[in-house]
Amino acid sequence: MMCRIGQEPDPQGADGARTPDAAFAALLEDSAEELYETAPCGYLSTLMDGTVVKLNTTLLNWLGVERDAVVGRRRFTDLLTVGGKLYHETHFAPLLRMQGEISGIALEIKQTGGARMPVLVSSVVKYGSTGEPLLIRTTLFDARDRRAYEEELLRRRRAAEEATRQAEADRARLQDALAALQQALLPSTLPEVPGLETAAHYHTASPDQLGGDFYDVFAVDGKRWAFFLGDVCGKGPKAAAVTSLTRYTLRAAALHDPDPVAALSTLNTVLHERYSGGDPRYCTAIFGIVEPDPDSGHVTVSLASGGHPPALVLRADGTSDFLPTPGGLLVGILPAPRFTTATTTLAPGDTLLLYTDGLTEARTGADRTALYGDEALRAFGAGHAGKPPQAVIRALIGLLDGFGDGLDDDTALLALGAPAGPRPTATPVPATKNTR
């Protein structure tokens, strides 16, 4: 036979015969009376009206009373708490009468001194030889540990539910904070500019990621207005911090010196000083100045680009062309970069469109491998040339919506237009030029 360490011996030998040990053990349990009195459960017998006729010592000890105080003097329901008594009368007793037995009902008994003890109660009806009910026999099991365990489970569950509620509240608060921060990165409304129509749109790729695109329009002096639009590398809080720094630096720089190259250079100095080294942060941007001429209805535009895709000009005559700004460098990576300038004049009905590369880099085609691209944008612009900025932006929003999941980046759009107005234009089509 194998040596079995740490296990109880078999109650019987391998041949099925009683071992001498088991035979001896049986002698220890030869008294049914003693087993009844000291069993690890309460025994209770009552008449059919509930009057207690017999109960064991275990139950007496739980109740904390003398036998004489109970037998013949109390009913089973007298031993129960008020709630238990009610449950007994509405459920327990009717079921027992109907079925002749009932088991595992959780009730509480009253102990001397006022304490309550949870028990699991089972009862059977004992019938006489002619089938008439004689007695109810009841066992009561101590359910204190079980109750404690259940209460612990409930407590844990409540704690988990509370944690979930807290997490949801935190999440909502965080989203509110993100929305507030996002709004601080963009103007809530564009200012009224005399002699200029404006419209903008911001497409957020992900609601819980702060985007890195930005734009703004603001007054420089009585005649000139500044505008900018750009794209900070990366996403999330760190990118948003750069976006915020960029927006307010450009605003402040323009008030100091509205020259587009000077404004971008100031921004470059700030970003380069702040973010040079192992974690480079930079942006692409177009910064420009518009000056509407109230007499002619024309708007002169002077802008500079730092690594940003070229602006698109939609002419009232139905044509559309890029305003090229090649060679301008990303803002923030070199101490003294070159920015490329360009100027144009918007005649009444002309619109200047600035955009971020979310638009031109949107993936198109059935397999989402082709890019929307510059030429498609130019053609789209020609299709909407002559419309005011609001209508152009509306059309572009429709275009963005059409990209579906092919548009996976934030996209900012800003359109500035010379109002078509009633005044007939006698001037020739203004020329566009760019310098490096």
Nearer to other proteins, 77 or 276 (CB): 276
**301, 311, 329, 420: which one contacts other proteins (CB under 8 A)?**
329
Q: Which residues contact 167 (CB under 8 A, 6 or more apart)?
A: none
**276, 300, 425, 432: which one contacts other proteins (CB under 8 A)?**
276
Q: How far apart are CA 25 and CA 284, in angstroms?
A: 91
Q: In one letter, which amino acid is 77?
A: T
Residues 213-252 that bind other proteins (CB under 8 A): 233-234
**96, 199, 314, 330: which one contacts other proteins (CB under 8 A)?**
330
Nearer to other proteins, 311 or 346 (CB): 311
For residue 293, count other CB atoms closer than 10 A to its CB.
Answer: 13
Nearer to other proteins, 230 or 292 (CB): 230
Nearest CA to 209 among 233, 188, 235? 235
The verdict on 432 binding other proteins (CB under 8 A) reads no
- Closest CB 337 distance from other proteins, rounded Å: 7
Find the largest Cα–Cα distance for the chain. 125
Nearer to other proteins, 50 or 234 (CB): 234
- Closest CB 276 distance from other proteins, rounded Å: 7
Stretch near other proteins under the rule CB under 8 A, chosen from 21-29, 242-250, 328-336, 343-351: 328-336
Nearer to other proteins, 182 or 276 (CB): 276
- Closest CB 220 distance from other proteins, rounded Å: 26
Nearer to other proteins, 133 or 234 (CB): 234
Total of residues contacting other proteins (CB under 8 A): 23
Nearer to other proteins, 195 or 309 (CB): 309
**94, 327, 383, 402: which one contacts other proteins (CB under 8 A)?**
327
Site mask for other proteins (CB under 8 A), range 27-56, x = bound: ------------------------------
**SS3 at position 247:** helix
Q: How far apart are CA 236 and CA 78, in angstroms?
A: 68
**SS3 at position 227:** strand
Q: How far apart are CA 191 and CA 200, in angstroms?
A: 11
Nearest CA to 125 among 96, 168, 147? 96
Residues 340-379 that bind other proteins (CB under 8 A): 357
- Closest CB 177 distance from other proteins, rounded Å: 23
Q: Which two tokens stand for residue 414?
A: 């800003």
Stretch near other proteins under the rule CB under 8 A, chosen from 31-39, 98-106, 326-334, 384-392: 326-334
The verdict on 211 binding other proteins (CB under 8 A) reads no
Nearer to other proteins, 187 or 234 (CB): 234
- Closest CB 363 distance from other proteins, rounded Å: 12
Nearer to other proteins, 101 or 408 (CB): 408
Exposure b/e, 186-206, CB count within 10 A at least 16 = b: beeebeebebbbbbbbbbeee
Q: In one letter, which amino acid is 224?
A: R
- Closest CB 325 distance from other proteins, rounded Å: 10
- Closest CB 371 distance from other proteins, rounded Å: 8
Q: What is the DSSP letter of 76?
A: G
Nearer to other proteins, 136 or 242 (CB): 242
**SS3 at position 382:** helix
Site mask for other proteins (CB under 8 A), range 277-306, x = bound: xxxx-x-x---------------------x
The verdict on 337 binding other proteins (CB under 8 A) reads yes
Q: Are the C-beta atoms of residues 382 and 317 closer than 8 Å to each other?
A: no
Nearer to other proteins, 142 or 321 (CB): 321
β-sheet bridge partners, residue 51: 75
Residues that bind other proteins (CB under 8 A): 233-234, 276-280, 282, 284, 306-309, 326-330, 333-334, 337-338, 357
